[in-house]
Amino acid sequence: MTDHTDVTSGTDVVSGNGAPGGVPLAKFDDPHLQPYAKNARRAEMLIAALLLLGLAGFCAYGGLYWVGGQTQWEGVFGGVGFFAFGFGLSAWGKYLLPQGPFVEERHSLASTETEVEAMASAIEDRGKMVFYRRGFLGTILGAGAGVMGIVLAFPLLRSLGPPPRKTFDTTDWRAGSYLVDLDGNRIHKADLEVGGSLTVFPEGFAGSSASQTMLIRPGPTDVDIVTLPGRETWGPRGYLAYSKLCTHAGCPVGLYEEALQKLLCPCHQSLFNILTGANPVFGPAPRPLPQLPLMIDSAGFLVAQAGYDQPVGPGFWERS
């Protein structure tokens, strides 16, 4: 409640006996009560125009809605309607209402020191009343509350889904898995030209997230490509296969830069060198893309010799 302090500019104070505080009074010609606008008439007309424009906008939107609507014109009508209407209303508040300025006293938030101490003592003393010489009970209470907190976290977390177990360590690739495209067609050794690339999956698991693999044919078609020691047989007839899951954050590394023989990941621009075992040469990826060992069966179809020799995709705690 405002204090009835003396104020300036021709106001007067009315006080009532017993009523808390007084109610300030102002005369009509007090400059604080005058509108902000120098020319109130002109301001009124402009505000009226704005409000009318708002009204028109709303009507136009309503009409457009009834005849079926159209996104861009809905945006114009609704936008102009709300904007003009709001602009007019704000202008009314700024230009036509009493310009003030008005003042309000702040009262200290803080209580007196005595009151603070009284509150603290109340908490402390009454708390002591609870636990005085009953510390053992308090301990049991605390232990119970602690266990409750821990146990209540179980349904909140564990019930949500399965534990990881070995799910990050393996894919659906096995020894003898035929390479297929998304439609399930087996890949023949004559399918890709030099410089060609294709997304492949193990047969029966087309579309699998963890098993997605980039099949690339960087090399001459009659030569086996060796990327690293121990991988002499992994790249038959110019073909190489790498896991498509980026070892950084798991995005599909689908950008085969043919001239540079690199794989670029579009998410954070990790760059992998295909000819040296897809090791990262730029960007944040910390590990090479795992390579799938390939072979060609008697009919000429591409087959995996085995699954990946390490977990695919981004790193995790249990990855050794």
Partner 1 sequence: MQKRLRVTHLLPGLLVVGVALVGLLTSGASVSQAATPPTTVPAATASATTATTTAPVAKVVLKSATSASSTIKYNLPPSSYIAPGQTLFELNCSSCHGVDASGTARAPNLQGLGPSTVDFWVSTGRMPLAVATAQPVQKPPRFDRKQTLQIVAFVNSLASTAPDYPSGIPTVNLSAGNLSEGNSLFVLNCAGCHTITGAGDALSNGFQAPSLHKIYPRQIAEAIRTGPTQMPHFGPGNLSNQQVTDIVKYVTTVIQHPVDQGGLGLGGIGPVAEGFIGLLFGVGGIMLVAFWLGDRK
Partner 2 sequence: MSAITSRPGGRVRGRQSRRANKPDPVVAGVRWLDERLGVAKGGRTLLDKIFPDHWSFLLGEIALYSFVVLIATGIFLSLYFIPSAKELIYSGPYVPLRGARVSAAFESTVNLSFSVRSGLVIRQMHHWAADVFVGAIAVHMCRIFFTGAFRKPRELNWMIGITLLILALTNGFIGYSLPDDLVSGTGLRIMFSIVLSIPIVGSYLATFLFGGNFPGDGTIIPRLFIIHVLVVPLIILGLLGAHLGLLVRQKHTQFPGHGRTEKNVVGSPMYPTFIAKTTGFMFVTTGVLWALGGLAQINPIWQFGQYEPYKISYAVQPDWYMGWLDGALRIMPPISWTLWGHTIPFVILFPAVLFPGICFNLFYVWPFVEAKVTGDRAEHNLLDRPRDKPRRTAIGVASLAFFFTLFAASSTDVLANFFKISLNEVVWFYRFAVFIIPAAAGIFAYYLCLEMSGVPGIGRRKRAVVITRSAQGEYESVSTEPRPGDGEAELAPIPVPGRVDLNGDPEPVEAASSGVRRIPRR
Query: Per CB under 8 A, which of residues 163..222 are in contact with partner 2?
Result: 163-164, 167-168, 182, 199, 201, 207, 209-210, 212
Of 244-273, which residues contact partner 2 (CB under 8 A)?
244, 248-252, 254-255, 266-270
Q: What is the DSSP letter of 186?
A: B
Residue 146's binding partner out of partner 2, partner 1, none, with CB under 5 to 8 Å set by partner kind = none
Of 27-66, which residues contact partner 2 (CB under 8 A)?
27-33, 54, 65
Our CB check for partner 2 shows the closer of 7 and 296 to be: 7
Number of residues that bind partner 2 (CB under 8 A): 107
Rounded Cα–Cα distance for residues 213 and 304 (Å): 11
Q: Is 266 in the site for partner 1 (CB under 8 A)?
A: yes
Rounded Cα–Cα distance for residues 103 and 109 (Å): 18
Q: Is 292 in the site for partner 2 (CB under 8 A)?
A: no
Stretch that binds partner 2, among 6-14, 116-124, 125-133, 224-232 (CB under 8 A): 6-14
Rounded Cα–Cα distance for residues 170 and 33 (Å): 78
Rounded Cα–Cα distance for residues 170 and 312 (Å): 8
Rounded Cα–Cα distance for residues 261 and 135 (Å): 72
Burial class (CB in 10 A: 0-12, 13-18, 19+), 22: middle
Residue 256's binding partner out of partner 2, partner 1, none, with CB under 5 to 8 Å set by partner kind = partner 1
DSSP strand pairing (11-15 vs 262-264)? unpaired
Rounded Cα–Cα distance for residues 225 and 26 (Å): 95
Residue 219's binding partner out of partner 1, partner 2, none, with CB under 5 to 8 Å set by partner kind = none
Of 117-156, which residues contact partner 2 (CB under 8 A)?
none
Q: Are 269 and 288 in contact (CB under 8 A)?
A: no
The binder of partner 1 chosen from 180, 271, 274, 285 (CB under 8 A):
271
Distance from first CA to last CA of the chain, Å, rounded?
70
Interaction mask 81-110, partner 1, x per CB under 8 A: --xx--x--xx--xx---x-----------
Our CB check for partner 1 shows the closer of 170 and 273 to be: 273
